[in-house]
Amino acid sequence: MSAQIKAAPLLNLFKGALRLANPVKMSRNFWQHRSLIKQMVQRDVGQRYKGSILGLVWSVITPLVMLIIYTFVFTVIFKGRWTITENAPFGEYTLIIFAGLIPFNLFSELANRAPILMLNSPNFVKKVVFPLEILPLIAAGSATITSLISIGLLLIFSLIFLGHIAPTAIFLPLIYLPLLFLSLGLSWFLSALGVYFRDFAQIIPLVTLVLFFMTPIVYPPTSIPPSFQWIVTLNPLAMIVSDFRNLLIWNVFFPTKEWVIWTSLTGIFALLGYGWFIWSKKGFADVI
């Protein structure tokens, strides 16, 4: 009997989240606040470099410097290759790693930022009329802009190193869908949980660090022993990273069936995260 009593609040929580996970109402809510979202995304991007002399130019300089460092370290020093092919173009290994880091960096930025997102916005939390659910969306918009700048640099260096830009790159928006669904769903979950459990701010960076090494970013999936291949199969980031590389580097279209499955699953996950957040946000002001 006691176990049932303890389980009741948790069950009610999930029921409430499911009831509020309405895609029509969510879309209508975001469309209603589209002007506010746009303004706050612009402000969020601008605040990253507020007070600096070069301003937004740093959003280009930072990934450019990292790409140059990757090229020197992995190509010149380690002489790394993704495959055993001897005639691999100079810089190809660097571009492969960079293409994998772009989606992972977007995901990790939102995941690491989410637990403190509400805690860093007490003025918004205490305003009854402010739609708090758009804050993770604003963070996602800001992170997406940064990732698109990195994509632009990757395409430029693909032209320099490989002599071409993969035509399949035009399908990249399709791959952003499961990435953003996954990142937003997690962001809504963690931003709500972070209000009540402050330890998440310390736990999540450790989790994303482990996830980095569990995702084939600096090593090919074929190097994973067969007994551990199931980890890649269950890791949605592995599929997303692979599809980014296929479209941007190898001019290969992604597996449609796999994309449909993961996009559907991450879309459902995003809806559940949104419902969880809407159900939980009514208690934020009492805690912060």
Summarised one tens digit per residue, pLDDT across range 169-205 is: 999 999 999 999 999 999 999 999 999 999 999 999 9
Confidence of residue 15 (pLDDT cuts 50, 70, 90): low
Summarised one tens digit per residue, pLDDT across range 64-82 is: 788 788 777 776 776 666 7
Rg (CA), the chain: 21
- Specify the pTM: 0.87
Sequence-separated (6 or more) residues with CB below 8 Å from residue 115: 190, 191, 193, 194, 198, 200, 201, 204
Summarised one tens digit per residue, pLDDT across range 123-138 is: 888 877 889 999 999 9
Sequence spans of domains, the chain: 24-287
* pLDDT for position 3: 40
Stronger pLDDT, 1 or 67, i.e. the higher one: 67
Summarised one tens digit per residue, pLDDT across range 200-247 is: 999 999 999 999 989 988 888 888 888 888 888 888 899 999 999 999
Q: How far apart are CA 200 and CA 113, in angstroms?
A: 10
**C-alpha dist (Å) from residue 170 to 10, 23, 158, 246, 267:** 44, 27, 15, 12, 22
Helix axis angle, 34-48 to 134-161, nearest 10°: 60
